[in-house]
């Protein structure tokens, strides 16, 4: 009997031992944390020499940060798009340009910072800026960790953070799981920046530059950590008139056109306080321009109490002008600006008005840089800078009205040519078109810098039986005369804020959306409704004397 019991006991003991071992293994597998250390390069997805980049604590995988001699460098394209659009790289002359309110700063790949390290890298067609350089002009902070692999953290977010204190030494893991490998360890009393909190785990950033998960039971306390920036942004202080602007353009394509000034300005009955003659015309891609500035004209205008803002354009003499070439070269921009400043000093001009039109999207950033640099020169010389713009559209986004609003004194909306020569028939400046242009500009530019320009012309459209469309621009008086002579009946279109008329002829139909006292008064009402800085009119000679009772800022 005893011989039978002993084997049974042994079997039971072995079964219990196996079961206990199994249960212990299950317990260990489920409840005992792993001590496995993470392969940091694998976790971050980087190879030797590469740098893991975090922007406001979010991993950015498609931006190549370069580290040289303990200094981090950021791609200039990424800096411009995300941090500071004022950095400008001249790829032709291999020159970095940065424009401050009162000066322009230059650097190239030979320029070193106070540390003796290059401010920029220019290699294989790509450009990187040192973080120290970017931080000199941008409200950012950064941290670089280089062991065991490079990790770079950049912040332009200064919101208050939540920090936690570790109750004891605790592991920070790749995932919120005790079986997940360990990235690093937070010492007892060490700080852990909390980015995301769950029921059992918190995701955060450690002082030694890792972002991972820490069990909440290891966090002794949390507190709000205020971040204080010591950066001081440059102040852009422009020049403006003490009264609302009422500007009239005077088209002067020849020296003899200046002779008409006294007669034309007399029709404005004192409503105008700024005259803008189209005197300066770009002629080539090297910064040359033709000038019809007249000292007699300037002196006469000043005696009348008028400011004189000379207009620079790229189309009246600009058959050989390629804006993408002209404005993309720093030396050429400087030559042009120096020439404009010399012209202003010689003739005692009060301002420069830019009327640069038809610029392709690829040329627009270079033009904006020209505006920045010109603003410095103008303000250092006490000149007002105004810039003419189409109504906002997707095609003209690159004109960067927001930046114009910061560096220029006035941003002028050319609130016309809704339907232009060569296009389909329609109004020159319907009320919805004008109001939309104002609203979209005000989304980027403060009202005290915005001037809306109104047309003193309208188009008479002719459409023949074969569908051919042509148009003729008529001044206000010429349009009235055409309506009267042809006994055209006008019908007020309330939605458009215009009178409409049409004439049937043997050759087809002629139509007109008429600009007149009533339509212009509605546009002036918009200017006052949105508290704009003023009005501009294109152009003297197309106006009538009675229109200035309406088009004024009194």
Q: pLDDT band at 59, cuts 50/70/90?
A: very high
Q: pLDDT band at 23, cuts 50/70/90?
A: very low
Q: What is the pLDDT of residue 318?
A: 81
For residues 390, 395, 401, 403, the Cα torsion angle rounded to the nearest 10 degrees is -150
Q: What is the pLDDT of residue 383?
A: 98
DSSP conformation class of 112: B
DSSP conformation class of 409: S
DSSP conformation class of 422: T
Q: Is the pLDDT of residue 275 over 60?
A: yes
Query: What's the pLDDT tens digit per position in 127-155?
Result: 999 999 999 999 999 999 999 999 999 99
Report the interhelical angle of 517-529 vs 431-442 (nearest 10°): 20
Q: pLDDT band at 31, cuts 50/70/90?
A: low
Q: What is the pLDDT of residue 19?
A: 56
Q: What is the pLDDT of residue 27?
A: 47
Q: Is the pLDDT of residue 302 over 50?
A: yes
Q: What is the pLDDT of residue 48?
A: 86
Query: What's the pLDDT tens digit per position in 90-100?
Result: 999 999 999 99
For residue 275, give the nearest of 384, 145, 371 by alpha carbon.
Answer: 384
Alpha-carbon gap, residue 486 to 474, rounded angstroms = 15
Report the interhelical angle of 364-380 vs 330-347 (nearest 10°): 40
Q: What is the pLDDT of residue 26?
A: 47
Over range 107-135, report the average pLDDT. Answer: 96
Q: Give 413's strand partners.
A: 389, 452
Over range 296-315, report the average pLDDT. Answer: 98
- Angle, vertex CA 342, rays to CA 337 and CA 344, nearest 5: 95
Q: pLDDT band at 9, cuts 50/70/90?
A: low
Class of domain 245-457+516-549: alpha beta
CA distances 111 to 10, 37, 73, 74, 84, Å, are 84, 43, 14, 16, 20
Q: Is the pLDDT of residue 482 over 80?
A: yes
257 within 8 A of 251, measured Cβ to Cβ: yes
Q: Do domains 161-225 and 245-457+516-549 have the same CATH topology?
A: no
Where along the chain do its domains lie?
Answer: 40-155, 161-225, 245-457+516-549
Intra-chain end-to-end CA distance of the chain, in Å: 125
Q: Is the pLDDT of residue 507 over 80?
A: yes
For residue 142, give the nearest of 65, 223, 214, 64 by alpha carbon.
Answer: 65
- 178 burial type by CB count under 10 A (0-12 exposed, 13-18 middle, 19+ buried): middle
Class of domain 161-225: mainly beta
- Order of strands, sheet of 219-225, starting from the edge strand that comes earlier in the sequence: 182-186, 170-173, 211-215, 201-206, 191-197, 161-166, 219-225
């Amino acid at each position: 009997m005893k011989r039978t019991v002993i084997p049974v006991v042994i079997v039971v003991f072995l079964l219990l031992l196996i079961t206990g071992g199994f249960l212990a293994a299950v317990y260990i597998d489920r409840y005992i944390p792993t001590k496995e250390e993470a392969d940091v390069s694998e976790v971050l997805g980087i190879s030797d020499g590469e740098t893991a980049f975090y922007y406001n604590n979010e991993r950015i995988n498609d931006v190549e940060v370069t580290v040289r001699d303990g200094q981090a460098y950021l791609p200039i394209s990424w800096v411009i798009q995300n941090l500071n659009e004022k950095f400008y790289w001249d790829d032709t002359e291999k020159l970095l340009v940065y424009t401050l309110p009162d000066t322009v700063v230059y650097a190239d790949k030979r320029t070193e910072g106070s540390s003796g390290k290059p401010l920029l890298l220019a290699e294989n067609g790509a450009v990187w800026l040192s973080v120290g350089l970017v931080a000199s002009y941008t409200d950012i902070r950064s941290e670089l960790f280089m062991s065991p692999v490079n990790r770079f953290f950049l912040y332009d977010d200064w919101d208050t953070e939540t920090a936690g204190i570790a109750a004891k030494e605790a592991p920070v893991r790749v995932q919120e799981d005790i079986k997940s490998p360990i990235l690093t360890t937070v010492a007892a009393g060490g700080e852990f920046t909390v980015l995301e909190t769950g029921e059992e785990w918190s995701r955060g950033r450690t002082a030694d530059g890792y972002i991972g998960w820490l069990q909440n039971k290891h966090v002794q306390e949390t507190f709000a950590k205020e971040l204080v920036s010591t950066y001081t942004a440059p102040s852009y202080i422009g020049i403006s008139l003490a009264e609302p602007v009422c500007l009239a353009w005077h088209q002067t394509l020849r020296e003899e056109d200046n002779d008409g000034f006294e007669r034309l300005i007399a029709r404005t009955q004192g409503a105008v306080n700024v005259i803008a003659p189209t005197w300066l015309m770009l002629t080539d891609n090297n910064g040359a321009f033709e000038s019809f500035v007249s000292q007699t004209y300037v002196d006469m205008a000043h005696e009348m109490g008028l400011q004189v803002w000379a207009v620079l354009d790229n189309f009246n003499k600009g058959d050989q002008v390629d804006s993408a070439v002209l404005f993309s070269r720093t030396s050429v921009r400087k030559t042009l600006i120096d020439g404009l400043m010399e012209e202003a000093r010689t003739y005692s001009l009060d301002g420069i008005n830019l009327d640069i039109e038809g610029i392709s999207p690829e040329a627009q950033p270079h033009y904006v840089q020209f505006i920045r640099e010109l603003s410095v020169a103008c303000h250092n010389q006490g000149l007002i800078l105004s810039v003419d713009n189409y109504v906002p559209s997707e095609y003209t986004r690159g004109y960067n009205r927001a930046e114009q609003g910061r560096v220029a004194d006035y941003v002028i909306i050319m609130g016309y040519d809704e339907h232009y020569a060569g296009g389909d028939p329609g109004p020159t400046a319907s009320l919805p078109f004008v109001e939309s242009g104002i609203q979209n500009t005000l989304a980027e530019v403060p009202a005290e810098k915005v001037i809306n320009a109104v047309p003193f012309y309208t188009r008479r459209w002719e459409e023949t039986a074969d569908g051919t469309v042509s148009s003729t621009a008529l001044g206000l008086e010429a349009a009235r005369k055409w309506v009267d002579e042809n006994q055209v009946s006008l019908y007020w279109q309330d939605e458009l804020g215009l009178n409409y008329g049409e004439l049937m002829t043997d050759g087809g139909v002629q139509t007109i959306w008429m600009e007149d006292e009533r339509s212009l008064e509605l546009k002036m009402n918009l200017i006052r409704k949105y508290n704009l800085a003023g009005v501009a009119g294109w152009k003297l000679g197309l106006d009538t004397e009675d229109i200035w009772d309406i088009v004024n800022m009194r």
